[in-house]
Structure 1
Amino acid sequence: MQSSKGIRATIPLRNLRSAAPHKETQSNMFLVLLLLVAEFSNGEKHPLFEKDHAMDTVFPPVIWKHPELPAGHLRSLGYQRHADGPVKVASRLPSPVEFYAEYVLRLKPLVLRDAIDKSSPMMDRWTDEYLKRHFGQHKVTVTHKKEIIKGQVEVMTLERFLDRYKFQDLYMASLIPAEMEAGFTVPHVAQCGPVSRHITEAEMWMSSGGTGSLLHYHSEHQLHCMADGRKDFILIEHKYKDNLKCVEQPPGSGNGASTIDVDMVNMFDSPDVEKTPWRYTTLLPGDCLFIPAGHLHQVRSYGRSLSYTFLFRPVEDKNLGDCRALSKAVRGLDQFDLVWTIKDGYSQLKNEKLDADSLRSVLLSWVGKDGGLTFPVFQRNYEKAVAKAAGDSRSIGAKRAFQQLLQSEKKQVLTKDALMKLPAKTLDKLALFLNSIHKTVRDEL
């Protein structure tokens, strides 16, 4: 009689599925299964394969219409109608004066090719290993979903993110730590005039493989610049926002997003998408895109994508006098006064020594497009500024702080004129509290 070992050896490979597995084989299969489960369930371990880094996607998409269905039904945004053309590309880099007068003031999007100097640190040497070695200890904000606005946000060190993002569904969308600002080059068109004086915040974006955003808009202008990878943009004028089921949050802020699923547009629920004109562009390393305030945009990223944006306020300021003597030197974000930064994983006001005048300037950056500061907008920004002091018994709540600024319980909106006339004593009191937050947290650490 043949041994069981001999019998197993004679079973053809194609019949292995029907053969009863040996106990040793069952045990090995069980161990492999356990290892696979551990790999995928443990947040600190990697799946077996990196995400797809391909960057050869066709964009704008080739549209094919089904004879019995609306164009682009249950397909991603862009398949519902042909684009009206590309976003204008500058034939040469404009001067700061030309950029501000012809594009910023006129709310015209513009693509700037090779706007970032190749010697910029983020272009020249910011590999993952370099970032881990020099900035890995800094905490950044990361989302666990492809949706970069609604996704669940987590705070982690940059090193931890870099160890995981090529394998897991992570996307970094974070304010830039002050220690990294020098590495992000500000394009020459934005180094003087109102743009340079009214930058509110800068964010860095990093992902691996395909990721995408909601269709959304901001109350501020922005420049989006690429250091690595590829990004495709869909841009739509603000006047079409009602076609796209946009919701402004908080009300009066000038910031909002469409509730339409941009990855699978239901054309029976959203037929007006087909009536909405749109333009497109693709950014590669060194390119920047100017997106005017209110312009709707949807972004898709490919490959190892590293980029940054900085937001600047639409203002009445037209003083461009400092542009006359502007040099061609490469300048980083660290040379500009930003309103917001991130430290220890918390968003905070960058100025830790506020006085009446500097706090007034911060509050002006929160004023809406209608010229007033409402409580919902104040509350969102104020709670962001005092997040470090959450739970502190000495903390001044948003409602109380807003009433102190209004100087009346009957008023609902702090107008720009009223803000400019606020006495220094009122502002100094709030500034003193905001400054104390940083000292208290450092003492506790």
Structure 2
Amino acid sequence: MILVALHLLQLIAVTLGGEDIPEGHLKPFGHHRPPDVIIDELYDLPDPQTFWDEYVSLEKAAIFRGAAARSPGFTLWTEEYLSEAYGDLEVRLEGKHERNSGIPVGEKGLGRDTLRSFLKTFRDQDTYIVSELPEPMYKDFYIPPSISCGNMRNRLVEIDLWMSSGNTHSIVHKDAFNAVNCLMKGTKYWKLIEYKYEKWLYKTWEPKREIGGNSQVDPHSIDLLKYPDVAKVRWSNITINAGDCLFLPKSYYHQVSSAGDPNMAVSILFSRITQFDDTGCNETDIDFTPLSEVDVLWSWPGHGIMSMGNLDVWFLKANYIDFATEHGQMTEEDIRKDVVTAFPEMEKEELSQFVSKAWRVLDKSGKGFLTTDDINDLDIDSWREHVISMFENEPSNTEEFEYFMIEAGSIEFRNILERLMDAYPDQITRGVFVEHYTTHLGGTEGYANEIFDGLAGESRDTATPQQIKANMDSALKKWQENEADELSPEIDDTFEMKDVHFLREEL
């Protein structure tokens, strides 16, 4: 009650123009001070070496005006063309407002749709494609000359697709990789904040092993009494129009809003490289290059398990080489110690199984150790298999996301069942259960029917309260098996990243 009263007094003070209220209090981010960090606008794109020297190495953002318009997809990608040429390809879905939207249900399940189905429904629903760009679409998109050779071209990590009907709003956040974000349709309004201001952005807690992150502040109404240091943050305010690209350095904070229907962008993510290797640049045509002619570390065919957010294998390889150089060799036990340290919330036995499987991918001869030469000789497919073997798939990348996202064993779910049993003391029909599961938990009919099959039996369309109570644990077994291991700040504090050799964060 006291806190409510204090908040009301704050609002009254703002209304009366109280002198102690900071400028921009309870207003959108940016009202605390005018934008004064200039972002270069480039109409003639720099060659890769210049781009590295003047932007990437300095972690300096830049706008490439007109660069996205050079891709065939800029004119080809009408809704009719996308539906006809690529309609069967699948895409990953999110809600349009990061902290205030649930996970949409698409034709392929929770958080998964076909492009054709999305194009039929996206104007009527709170739905937004945030997905890997399916590989068949690569031929319609060109990477800009500035990253067309050397280890910027050779270390593309993934390519992402963003599409909505506009009116999307992100939180204030940073991303792990360097990115060239190219707008194919619509308009995006970017508020950019250099990484050096992170100390004043009130970053939310996240595990030490993570590289991305976001701010606690509400970008639409910043409480400067609660978060006073935000007032010190200098920032940039830019508009990216259809046909433009934005280079956003790794760990550069940003908040993005979109307008225009449709709004569509492609984002090229490349490694957190620490120096530019121009190998091959003399033999490469420095020009706009079809993405289909470039090797992408984690590409996705448009069906099955996505690889969005997978580890950068070049980063892992470099750390393995450093360790083997220092110690003369590297063993399975070295990796096991590292992974167990960095993932303290997981069962050691389970982690050990993952590591053993991943080690066998690298140690093909079975000699029990790897030298720097062994590590250097491994091909890229082996590195991909190694990462996939050692780290579980991010649930939202899979077709079984609902087992992880819907907490079918939660108190909320059990309360729903209790209410249904009270309302229907004799028997509950399949239709009633499915309606409550999809409406109150946001799940799909298919998974609701799977639960009901377990509660009542596959051939039955009704279940008694007695059957539900007797069968609940077995009916929810898959959901309970996939409950995530929770990493708390207290558990995370049990180790320091200096004790981690292979998975350490490189800012």
The yes-or-no answer on 1:146 pairing with 2:97 is yes
Is the Cα contact below 8 Å between 2:35 and 2:234 reproduced in 1? yes
The yes-or-no answer on 1:334 pairing with 2:285 is no
Deviations 1:255-312 (A, max 9, x none): 1111211122122211111111111211112211111111111111111211111111
Provide structure 1 residue ranges, at least 5 long, that are not aligned to the other structure.
1-63, 352-358, 380-395, 408-416
Distance 1:292 1:117 in 2: 22
Distance 2:219 2:78 in 1: 31
Figure out how many residues of one structure are paired with residues of the other and give that number. 338
- What is the identity, as a one-letter code, of the residue corresponding to 1:348? S
**Residue matched to 1:229:** 186
Query: Residues 185 and 70 from structure 1, CA distance in 2 versus in 1: closer, same or farther, beyond 3 angstroms?
Result: same
Partner residue of 1:318 out of 255, 261, 276: 276
Q: Secondary structure at the match of 2:280?
A: helix
**Residue matched to 2:265:** 307
Deviation (angstroms), 1:347? 1.1
**Residue matched to 2:463:** none
Question: Where do 1:52-67 residues align within 5 Å?
Answer: 67=17
Deviation (angstroms), 1:134? 0.7
Stretch moving more, 193-202 or 329-338: 329-338
Question: Where do 1:2-401 residues align within 5 Å?
Answer: 67-68=17-18, 69-90=21-42, 92-118=44-70, 120-147=71-98, 152=103, 154-247=111-204, 249-303=206-260, 304-327=262-285, 330-342=288-300, 343-348=302-307, 361=314, 363-364=316-317, 375=339, 398-401=351-354
Q: Secondary structure at the match of 2:198?
A: helix
Is the Cα contact below 8 Å between 2:37 and 2:234 reproduced in 1? no
Q: Secondary structure at the match of 1:280?
A: strand
Query: Residues 432 and 259 from structure 1, CA distance in 2 versus in 1: closer, same or farther, beyond 3 angstroms?
Result: closer
- What is the identity, as a one-letter code, of the residue corresponding to 1:77? F
Deviation (angstroms), 1:253? 2.6
% of aligned pairs identical? 27
Is the Cα contact below 8 Å between 2:43 and 2:66 reproduced in 1? no
Query: Residues 139 and 73 from structure 1, CA distance in 2 versus in 1: closer, same or farther, beyond 3 angstroms?
Result: same
Deviations 1:155-188 (A, max 9, x none): 1111111111122221111001111111121111
Stretch moving more, 150-159 or 262-271: 150-159
Is the Cα contact below 8 Å between 1:250 and 1:376 reproduced in 2? no
Deviation (angstroms), 1:74? 2.2
Q: Secondary structure at the match of 2:263?
A: strand
Tell me the TM-score normalised to structure 2 length: 0.59
Q: Secondary structure at the match of 1:204?
A: strand
Is the Cα contact below 8 Å between 1:405 and 1:422 reproduced in 2? no
Deviation (angstroms), 1:248? 6.0
Distance 2:195 2:385 in 1: 36
- Higher relative helix content: 2
- What is the identity, as a one-letter code, of the residue corresponding to 1:144? G
Question: Where do 1:384-423 residues align within 5 Å?
Answer: 398-402=351-355
Query: Residues 264 and 88 from structure 1, CA distance in 2 versus in 1: closer, same or farther, beyond 3 angstroms?
Result: same
Deviations 1:324-349 (A, max 9, x none): 34326542222222222334252139
Distance 2:270 2:244 in 1: 18
Q: Secondary structure at the match of 1:124?
A: helix
Q: Secondary structure at the match of 1:346?
A: coil
Deviation (angstroms), 1:189? 0.9
Deviation (angstroms), 1:219? 2.4
Q: Secondary structure at the match of 1:341?
A: coil
Deviations 1:397-432 (A, max 9, x none): 65522366689xxxxxxxxx988865989x969948
Is the Cα contact below 8 Å between 2:174 and 2:253 reproduced in 1? yes
- What is the identity, as a one-letter code, of the residue corresponding to 2:65? R
Provide structure 2 residue ranges, at least 5 long, that are not aligned to the other structure.
1-13, 105-110, 324-333, 344-348, 361-369, 393-397, 399-507
Distance 1:292 1:429 in 2: 25
